Amino acid sequence: MQRPELAATALWRATCPDGWRVEPINLGAVAAHLGVDILTWQPDDERLNGALIRSAKTVFVNATLARPRMRFAAAHELGHYVLGHEGDFFCPFNRYATLEREANRFAAALLMPTAVVKTLWLKLSDLTPAAKLSALTERLAVSRQALGYRLRAVGIAGETPASPQRA
């Protein structure tokens, strides 16, 4: 398991003692546990999904995004914070591509913990893969695209439609 996955899993376990029944994960509770505020804003640059101002312990999320994208952006910025990425971040920001990928892996693992995804996938075994995708995106409050990537990352790729559509 990689560092982002381990960090997200530890945080999920610390903030969601009833994690098996808590979907979607409460990012407000996660942020409170970390002593970080999550606020929405409308950036001048519409390409900005989120920002972390480390010194202020504040994550900003673009208020114009769809709910699943807002949740991923907030989890991504929390990833920068938890993983100890130094400085402030305004995402997307390609200058630190490696750090951005780590924050993405953290966000995916936090919003879609491996154990939860695998358990729910098995519980929905009577549904078609497409119906499972729809059920999981709704239950975990994530986009189809993010869920598609996560399913491949946890080894369920062979059972999912080849190219998930954006939510």
Per-residue pLDDT at 38: 97
The DSSP output letter for 53 is E
With contact defined as beta carbons under 8 Å apart, do 29 and 15 qualify?
Answer: yes
Per-residue pLDDT at 1: 44
CA distance 101 to 92: 11
Per-residue pLDDT at 163: 44
Q: Report domain extents, the chain.
A: 3-111, 114-159
Residue 124: other Cβ atoms inside 10 A: 17
CA distance 112 to 136: 9
Per-residue pLDDT at 154: 93
Residues of the chain with pLDDT under 70: 1, 18-22, 91-96, 157-167
| 46-70 residue pLDDT tens | 788 899 999 999 999 999 999 999 9
Going along 70-157, which residue ranges are E strands?
Answer: 89-91
The verdict on pTM exceeding 0.95 is: no
CA distance 12 to 6: 10
Going along 4-160, which residue ranges are E strands?
Answer: 37-41, 50-53, 58-62, 89-91
What is the CATH number assigned to the segment(s) 3-111?
A: 1.10.10.2910
Compute the C-alpha angle 15/17/23, nearest 5°. 80
Per-residue pLDDT at 98: 85
What phi, psi does 127 have (nearest 5°)?
-95, 160
Per-residue pLDDT at 129: 87
